[in-house]
Amino acid sequence: MSLWARSTQHAGAPRTGVSVNRRLSLLVLSELVTAALIVVAAAVALARLEGERAYMDRYVFAPLLDIGEAQVAGNELRDLLLPGRSEEEVATRARPALLRLRAFTERYQRDWETGISSLPEAKRLRAELERQGELKLLEKEHEAVGGTVHAVHAMELTTGMDGQAPAEPPLRGRDVAALDDGLVELNLVNLRYVQIGYRAFERIHRLITTSFIVISLGGIVAAGLLGFAVRQAIAPRVRRMLEAVQRFRERGAYERIEDEGDDDLTVLAHTLGLSFRSIAERDKERERFLAVAAHELKTPLTTLKGFAQVALAHREDPVLRERALAVLDRQSTRLARLVQDLLWSARAEAGQLPFHPGPVDLQVLARQVIGEVRLLCGAREFQLDSCADPHILGDSSLLEQSLWNLIVQAATLAPDRDPVQIGIEGSMTRVRLTVAARSRAEVPDDLDELIQPFQAPPFESRSDGLRSTGLGLHLVQEIARLHGARFEIERRPGPAVVSCLEFRR
């Protein structure tokens, strides 16, 4: 099992033991074994059939041909019994046939007489005769051979082949008949041998055929069972994944895909689960962003709508009308900034924040932003201290929004009427812009929380009406990243919170 798969298993969860990899390996192995068995069986069968063919040729069919030739010689001797030949001619013409017959009887006794031969083929035929209950054929063969040998020997004597004078007559009819009888009997016995040999061949043929059928069927059954096992290991789990995909499409909610195996499907299920979770979390984040954005937009809208009604309803009251218009102006500025923050945050999330770099004077930019913020909160003091060359290369619109967000955030955190200090310092290679203010007690311990979208504490109870949008510092971070600048927030004695943007020249 891979470390990854092991690490993703839930503690205490039951193991299903349905490893696709293992079952597929078994399936492939069974196919290989089946193929190997078929190849081996085919080789054995071919060798066996070749052996059978050679045995039949050499030991079963060959004697029949010799017996046939011996019968031809016997026929020649019978022809010599016909009248009209001299005794000398008969004796002379009988000798070649008798020589062939003697050679036949000697060869037959040496090679083919099954009852006494020590050849492996003879032993095999004897075993087959015993198997088929035909051992009496051996006796018949022996008698037929004996009769033939005796007849040939008698004719050799009467024809004078032993050096004596031929007898009168030199060829006797009873000897030729005895020779015929012996050869016919021998022929019949050998035909029975052919029959028995062929039965044995058929039995072997059936054995080979059966073996092939058994091996093939065994392979098919094994492959079928293992294929079914593989399917059982795959199908339910794939179905669970498909159902999870379907549920995710319908509900958009992440549900863990249960799969406790240890194979590639488990990896796939967990990857799918992680993807679903990632998509669901992103959707949830987007929904949360939209909900908070709607909330943030509706709050200034309420005061805009209400004070517009107040201004319309109290046309004859210049003080109230003036106050309503001032609130309208401030809230519309705040709303514009919020909308800008929302749009740029959305573009930053998509990696499409517009970036048009050019020369920027941070001191001039800071003065401009401070002037705008003062319009909203005249009572707040802003101190700008620049002791370095304030020129950098950057996008003035983005940097202006960053400065606005930093200054408003600092003013939001600071107690009423506490000054906000903006500093520009640096060296030949770097410019450091700091925005510092004393902080109230509600600042979170982890200052990075201030950078998270809409995570900043809602300090709306400003007497000066300032309020961070909740997106400001997150956007500052994105803008800093785009400029290759470093952005950090520090806590300093005071207690003060200092936001710092460090640019490279």
Partner 1 sequence: MRRDHVLIIDDDADLRELVAIGLADAHLTCVEAAGCVEALPLLDRDRARLRAVLLDYFMPGPSPAACARAILERVDPGVPVVLVSAAVDIAERAAELGLTRYLAKPFDLVQLHAVVSEVETG
The piece of 217-225, 397-405, 426-434, 460-468 that touches partner 1 (CB under 8 A) is 460-468
Residues 149, 143: Cα–Cα separation, whole Å: 10
- Residue 292 beta carbon to partner 1: minimum distance, rounded to whole angstroms: 9
- Residue 24 beta carbon to partner 1: minimum distance, rounded to whole angstroms: 51
3-state secondary structure of 335: helix
The piece of 48-56, 301-309, 337-345, 373-381 that touches partner 1 (CB under 8 A) is 301-309
Query: How far are the Cα atoms of 397, 445, 450, 487 from residue 348, in angstroms, in the given order?
Result: 14, 27, 18, 16
3-state secondary structure of 263: coil
Q: Does 306 bind partner 1 (CB under 8 A)?
A: yes
What is the maximal distance between C-alpha atoms in the chain? Answer: 179
- Is 192 or 323 the residue whose CB approaches partner 1 more closely? 323
Counting Cα atoms < 13 Å in the Cβ hemisphere of 143 gives 10
| Residue 281 backbone zone (phi > 0: left; psi -120 to 50: alpha; other: beta) | alpha
Q: Which residue in the set 35, 72, 274, 294 belongs to the binding site for partner 1 (CB under 8 A)? A: 294
Question: What residues contact 489, with CB distance under 8 A and at least 6 apart?
Answer: 447, 448, 450, 451, 473, 497, 498, 499, 500
The piece of 251-259, 274-282, 288-296, 365-373 that touches partner 1 (CB under 8 A) is 288-296
Residues 145, 179: Cα–Cα separation, whole Å: 10
Q: Does 303 bind partner 1 (CB under 8 A)?
A: yes
Q: Does 449 bind partner 1 (CB under 8 A)?
A: no
* Cβ burial, residue 59 (10 Å; 0-12/13-18/19+): buried
The piece of 125-133, 175-183, 306-314, 428-436 that touches partner 1 (CB under 8 A) is 306-314
Q: Does 459 bind partner 1 (CB under 8 A)?
A: yes
- Is 204 or 292 the residue whose CB approaches partner 1 more closely? 292
Count of beta carbons in the 10 Å neighbourhood of residue 399: 25
Helical residues (DSSP H) of 314-379, grouped into ranges: 318-349, 362-376
CA angle (88, 99, 63) in 5-degree steps: 140
- Residue 290 beta carbon to partner 1: minimum distance, rounded to whole angstroms: 8
The piece of 143-151, 163-171, 454-462, 480-488 that touches partner 1 (CB under 8 A) is 454-462
- Residue 232 beta carbon to partner 1: minimum distance, rounded to whole angstroms: 46
- Residue 386 beta carbon to partner 1: minimum distance, rounded to whole angstroms: 33
Q: Which residue in the set 299, 340, 368, 396 belongs to the binding site for partner 1 (CB under 8 A)? A: 299
Q: Does 320 bind partner 1 (CB under 8 A)?
A: yes
- Is 237 or 337 the residue whose CB approaches partner 1 more closely? 337
3-state secondary structure of 452: coil
- Is 168 or 442 the residue whose CB approaches partner 1 more closely? 442
* Cβ burial, residue 60 (10 Å; 0-12/13-18/19+): buried
Which one, of 472, 503, 451, 335, lies nearest residue 406 by Cα?
A: 472
Q: Which helix (H) or strand (E) holds 147?
A: helix 136-158
Q: Does 462 bind partner 1 (CB under 8 A)?
A: yes
Q: Does 442 bind partner 1 (CB under 8 A)?
A: yes
Q: Does 302 bind partner 1 (CB under 8 A)?
A: yes
The piece of 12-20, 211-219, 242-250, 451-459 that touches partner 1 (CB under 8 A) is 451-459
- Residue 305 beta carbon to partner 1: minimum distance, rounded to whole angstroms: 5
The piece of 115-123, 138-146, 244-252, 291-299 that touches partner 1 (CB under 8 A) is 291-299
Two structure tokens written together for 138: 């051996």
Say if CB 381 and CB 410 are below 8 A apart.
no
Q: Does 291 bind partner 1 (CB under 8 A)?
A: yes
- DSSP per-residue letters across 23-79: HHHHHHHHHHHHHHHHHHHHHHHHHHHHHHHHHIIIIIIHHHHHHHHHHHHHHHHHH
Could you say which residues in the range 321-350 bind partner 1, by CB under 8 A? Answer: 323, 327, 330-331
- Residue 301 beta carbon to partner 1: minimum distance, rounded to whole angstroms: 4
Residues 387, 338: Cα–Cα separation, whole Å: 32
- Residue 296 beta carbon to partner 1: minimum distance, rounded to whole angstroms: 8
Instruction: Summarize as ranges the residues that interact with partner 1 (CB under 8 A).
Output: 291, 294-299, 301-307, 309-310, 313, 320, 323, 327, 330-331, 442, 457-463, 465, 467
